[in-house]
Amino acid sequence: MSEFIPQPSCADPEDQNRLSIDTARQRIASLITPLTAWQRCPIRDALDRILLNDIVSPINVPAHNNSAMDGYAIRSGDITNDSFSLKQVGIAFAGQPFQGTVNTGECIRIMTGAVVPSECDTIVMQEQVAVTDNIITIHGKHPKGNHVRYIGEDLKTGDVVLTAGRRIIPADLGLIASLGIAEVNVSRRLRIAFFSTGDELRSIGETLATGQIYDSNRYTLYGMLKRLDVEVLDMGVVPDQKDPLRQTLLQAAEQADVIITSGGVSVGDADYVKEMLAELGQVDFWKIAMRPGRPLAFGTINNALFFGLPGNPVSVMVTFYQFVAPALRKLMGETEPDVTTFQVNCTDAIRKRPGRFEYQRAILFKDDDGTTKVKITGSQGSGILRSMSTANCFILLDEKCDGIAANSLVTVQPFSGLI
Ligand code: AMP
Ligand code: MG
């Protein structure tokens, strides 16, 4: 007679095989080698792409000492007491330098951005002078160097302006343009194939029979992937059957760098994703001590990385943000992105049992007293996608946490910093 040995499963809260989120992150990171393929593109097209080489400044910015104000360029040696007069001998506009020499007792009219003549070292604001014909009388204190923007004050020739591995933001486009650089090298776009699994799933436009639901995961995944500026390959809905799953996975592995699926990774009778991954490639792990999103398959099929996300719509988003996005960013060559977290007062009490790391959906808001606080979105079921839509942050509750009293400090992670 065979003895019945209970198998650890996803329904078992005491399951010892589950990984901590940190271990899971490390295991994923250890399997990722950043892409080396790159392309050269005009700077505007480089927005949101990953810079492949350091950008080194070929020039000084600004290239000359120039005025930070509309006023008068003077020689600080001419400054006497609190009131003195100088003869205006010329004028300098931005882009049209004064061509002559400014001698002792002289000054020029100067506009913001205009080159400061080499004999001058100080700018007096026009509001601080009285003008009679071409004689200007200056009052007040004017420290040497006042209102002068110095050569190389922003960037010096040879300075590393942006480092390799950086995701290019709008300010960077301007910065690169200010150096006169027209094109940069960025890593090539990742190709990501994704599909949903589940016999109950229908696509938009179809009518729902009893028990059927519309596939929403392909839409949230599409949105999150688009934010990462990757090429997406939407492979639709695949039923819970081994043959179609096998075929779709093999086709995806041929076409993409990374495959992402949702659903079918748990221990239900129709959950074949993990089995197919084991047959076609390698499974690295599939249970994480977190909530939501415990079953998560990770591995490889031929040269493609594979992420089998859980089916529940909230779990898909949480596991994508916490594991898939950092992995894709590393793969595209981005240096370890800093994900912002900070502590803030939570107005709600939160119930939690120790054992798993929890990502509660929450809203950062300005309270009547003017301070920023956080509150949860309400019901935290992993099928309640509206909680993600209403939320603007996660509250992070670590494994040991056994609940939070109202009005205590919690750690939050704003969505805006996640991708
Ligand atoms: P599974 O992980 O396949 O057991 O799915 C868990 C839950 O998520 C079930 O209630 C599914 O109906 C639901 N689900 C799975 N895939 C999707 C999808 N693509 N869109 C919306 N809900 C889904
Ligand atoms: Mg399913």
99's torsion region: left (phi>0), alpha (psi -120 to 50) or beta?
alpha
Nearest listed ligand to the Cα of residue 262: 1
Q: What is the pLDDT of residues 373-399, one digit of tens each?
A: 999 998 888 999 999 999 999 999 999
We report the CATH number of the domain holding residue 105 as 2.170.190.11
Residue with structure tokens 């003549």? 117
Mean pLDDT of all residues in 150-168: 96
Same-domain pairing of 214 and 168: no
Check pocket membership of 264 for ligand 1, CB cut-off 6 A: yes
Same domain flag for 386 and 289: no
Atom of ligand 1 at shortest range from CA of 383: 8
Q: Residues 142, 195: one domain?
A: no
> If we measure between CA atoms, which residue out of 279, 353, 290, 287 comes closest to residue 317?
290
Closest CA to 304 of 251, 265, 266, 262: 251
Q: Is residue 372 part of a domain?
A: yes
Q: What is the pLDDT of residues 114-127, one digit of tens each?
A: 999 999 999 999 99
pLDDT of residue 15: 56
At residue 414, what are phi and psi to the nearest 5 degrees?
-65, 140
Q: What is the CATH number of the domain that holds 373?
A: 2.40.340.10
The percent of residues in the chain predicted with pLDDT above 90, rounded, is 86
| Nearest ligand, CA 213 | 1
Report the atom number in ligand 1 closest to the C-alpha of 312: 8
Claim to verify: residue 25 and residue 121 sit in the same structural domain: no
Q: Does residue 118 fall inside a structural domain? A: yes
Residue 273 in contact with residue 3, Cβ under 8 Å? Answer: no
Distance of CA 214 from the midpoint of ligand 2 (Å): 13
419 secondary structure, DSSP code: -
Q: How many domains is the chain built from?
A: 4
Confirm or reject: Cβ of 326 under 6 Å from ligand 1.
Answer: no
From first CA to last CA, the distance across the chain in angstroms is 55
Q: Please tell me if the CB atom of residue 216 comes closer than 6 angstroms to any atom of ligand 1.
A: yes
Q: How confident is the model at residue 12 (pLDDT cuts 50, 70, 90)?
A: very low
Q: Which residue has the higher pLDDT, 2 or 287?
A: 287
Atom number of ligand 1 nearest to Cα 310? 2
Whether 319 and 263 share a structural domain: yes
Summarize the confidence of residues 254-276 as an average pLDDT.
93
Please report the pLDDT score of residue 219 as a whole number: 98
195 and 278 within one domain: yes
Q: Record the tokens describing residue 287, joined without a space.
A: 């249970």
Confidence of residue 132 (pLDDT cuts 50, 70, 90): very high
365 forms beta bridges with: 373
d(CA 73, CA 86): 10
Could you read off the pLDDT of 344-377 as tens digits, one per residue? 999 999 999 999 999 999 999 999 999 999 999 9
Distance 307 CA to ligand 1 centre (A): 16
Helix/strand number for the chain, H first, E second: 8, 26
CA distance 233 to 259: 9
Q: Are residues 86 and 177 both part of a single domain?
A: no
Q: State the average pLDDT over residues 136-154.
A: 94
Please give the residue range of the domain that contains residue 143.
66-149
Is 104 inside a domain boundary? yes
For ligand 1, whether the C-beta of 34 sits within 6 Å is no
Same domain, 271 and 397: no
In the predicted structure, residue 415 carries a pLDDT above the cut 50 = yes
Residues 215-221: what's their mean pLDDT? 98
* 419 found inside a domain: no
Are 94 and 200 part of one and the same domain? Answer: no
What pLDDT sits at residue 287?
A: 87
Q: Are the CB atoms for 350 and 324 separated by under 8 Å? A: no
Does residue 240 line the site of ligand 1, with CB under 6 A? no
Q: Is the CB of 308 under 6 A from ligand 1?
A: no
What does the pLDDT read at residue 419?
Answer: 79
- Mean pLDDT over the full length of the chain: 93
Give the model confidence (pLDDT) of 169-198 as tens digits: 999 999 999 999 999 999 999 999 999 999
Which of 88, 122, 149 is the last residue before a domain boundary? 149
Residue 248 lies in a domain: yes
262, 271, 274, 296, best to mutate for ligand 1 pocket (most atoms within 8 Å of CB): 262
The per-residue pLDDT for range 65-100, each reduced to its tens digit, is 999 999 999 999 999 877 899 999 999 999 999 999
Which pLDDT band holds residue 10 (cuts at 50, 70, 90)?
Answer: very low
Question: Would you say residue 2 lies in a domain?
Answer: no
Same domain? For 276 and 177 the reply is no
Residue 165 has pLDDT above 50, yes or no: yes
Q: What residues have their beta carbon closer than 5 A to ion ligand 2? A: 198, 263-264, 311
Instruction: Determine if ligand 1 sits within 6 Å of the CB of residue 200.
Output: yes
